[in-house]
Chains A and B, each alone.
Chain A
Amino acid sequence: MAKKQYAFYPGCSSQKGASAANFLTSMNVMTEKLDIQLNEIPDWNCCGASIGYGEGGELPRLVINARNLAIAEKELPGQDMVSGCPACWLATRETHERLAEHSSLLAETNEALKEAGLNLNNTVRARHMTEVLIEDIGWDAMKAPVVKPLDGLKIAGYVGCQTNRPFGIAGESFENPKYLDKMIETVGAEPMAKYEQKVTCCGGALAFSEPEKSQKQIRDIVESAYDSGADMIVTPCQLCQANVEIYQSEINKKHGTKFKMPVVYYTQLMSIAYGGSAADAGLNGQLIKADKLEKIAGK
């Protein structure tokens, strides 16, 4: 089968030595097994994330995203852009849609892009990796490479915000999306049907600026995972992963809780189920060790 090709936008957090470096490690194993070829967009830049608006306003924010789209359009023609990071995806897709809707904004964007020797016709579709898996690869093909089903693993599927809103995955509801639970089932684990905080906000960038308020969100997200009987939380989002894992120790210090709930990416589940080692799945990147997953990897 010919490999499916995509213009790949890794995003800042997935780079070597960055906060979601282990996401990329595990995604590479997954895409290899699924015959997906990711062609990195040359010299891509940051999307501005969800906090870029404060100083960046509207047009500069659209323009930095348009730069990535313009490079992809020129260097990797005919390929959809795919990102593993919800913030990168959201910012790029929003840019694509806004520029398609307002020709005056596209004209202004191109005036700015000219300064970097670029031009955008706005033909590139921006997609999220989970979209690609569901729509282009399909559930059967996702299941086919499973050699180590994650038997007995109980998992709380935490979708979070930006993979789910405002765009989300076609055909899924904003209030109760089912695809992550279905992915958990596909790799042989058990999704916790009673997990209540599936689409709760982790605080996003406000984890830095409003720690108390964000940690209240994180506390709910983790507590509900325990209440549902889960062994671990799985998420498609880099910022959700970081916030929900990193701040558990802070919450324990402040509130006397004993949280120690591993938080992993869906790509890590797939890497292990597809026969990858703990290192292939980037499990050495966990602050809270995902022991039960490591055990399956070691079988």
Chain B
Amino acid sequence: MSDLNTQAVARYKNNFLKEVEERVEDGHWVKMCMQCGVCAGSCPLGPAWQHSPQKIFMMIRAGKREEVLGSDSMWMCTSCYNCIVRCPRKLPITHIMHGLANYAHRLDLAPKGQPTREIARLFWDNLVKTGRVNELKFSLAMYFKDGFAQGIKNAMAMQGIGLGLMKAKRLNPMEIVGGHKCKDIPGIHKMVAKAREIEDRRRGLA
């Protein structure tokens, strides 16, 4: 168990709802859910969720901390915002799911190797590095996230598409040696580090 998690358990004891309200993005909305289930029925990946948002909200109130934070459900969110626009109580469900996923990731309770968790990390690291996403390096990092052999296999499977995109000038092989980037990279790095420091302090994750 990570230190951050041990501290969180000690601090909130059995009050998981309070923990979510204080530490998860838009978590203070959770108690507004009236369990109508519209979110569950609106999700394009609904069947892939072990626990629908509706269930997640009830589980938070029931104190099912490990089941919620260890669930891979939130990582099924495609950010389509269907649930947000349909929720009769106007809960920002998409943001709460993102917030829960991020919190579970930071406490290292999110499922190990969960593919969306992995690509989310790779994507953020990629964009922060130069201020802009390098699509080629991001694709390669994704293919190789499960090791070299699997990476070659993935890259081979996608090579037709890759070549097609190169031919259409929508993938530039030269991005591997440089590519698009911001000028003020040092400023961006300092700014992002500061933002994280502030947020960690506020959320008790410092």
A-side residues, CB < 8 A to B, are 12-13, 15-22, 43-46, 48-60, 62-64, 67, 108-109, 111-118, 161-162, 165-166, 168, 174, 200-201, 203-206, 208-210, 213-214, 217, 246, 249-250, 284-287
How far apart sit A205 and B25, CA to CA, in the bound complex (Å)? Answer: 21
Using a Cβ cutoff of 8 Å, how many contacts connect chains A and B? 217
Distance to closest chain B CB from A147 (angstroms): 27
**Contact across chains for A19 and B85 when beta carbons are under 8 A apart:** no
How far apart sit A22 and B171, CA to CA, in the bound complex (Å)? Answer: 11
Nearest 6 interchain pairs by C-beta: A54-B120, A17-B172, A116-B187, A50-B79, A55-B124, A165-B81
Report which of B85, B106, B119 forms a contact with A166, defined as CB distance below 8 A: B85
Total contacting residues, chain B, CB less than 8 A: 64
**Contact across chains for B165 and A246 when beta carbons are under 8 A apart:** yes
Distance to closest chain B CB from A222 (angstroms): 15
Residues of B within 8 A of A15 (CB): 132, 180
| 10 cross-chain CB contacts under 8 A | A15-B180, A18-B180, A20-B170, A45-B182, A64-B188, A112-B192, A162-B80, A208-B119, A246-B164, A285-B170
Distance to closest chain A CB from B194 (angstroms): 4
Residues of B within 8 A of A109 (CB): 195
**Contact across chains for A12 and B133 when beta carbons are under 8 A apart:** yes
Interface string of B76-99 (1 = CB under 8 A from A): 101111101110000000100011
Extra contacts, 16 of them, besides A55-B105, A111-B194 (Cβ < 8 A), are A13-B135, A16-B180, A17-B169, A48-B127, A53-B101, A57-B25, A57-B106, A63-B195, A168-B85, A203-B45, A204-B80, A205-B123, A209-B118, A214-B78, A249-B161, A285-B170
B-side residues, CB < 8 A to A, are 25, 44-45, 48, 75-76, 78-82, 84-86, 94, 98-99, 101-102, 105-106, 115-121, 123-125, 127, 131-133, 135, 142, 160-161, 164-165, 168-172, 174-175, 180, 182-184, 187-188, 190-196, 198-199, 202
**Contact across chains for A59 and B196 when beta carbons are under 8 A apart:** yes
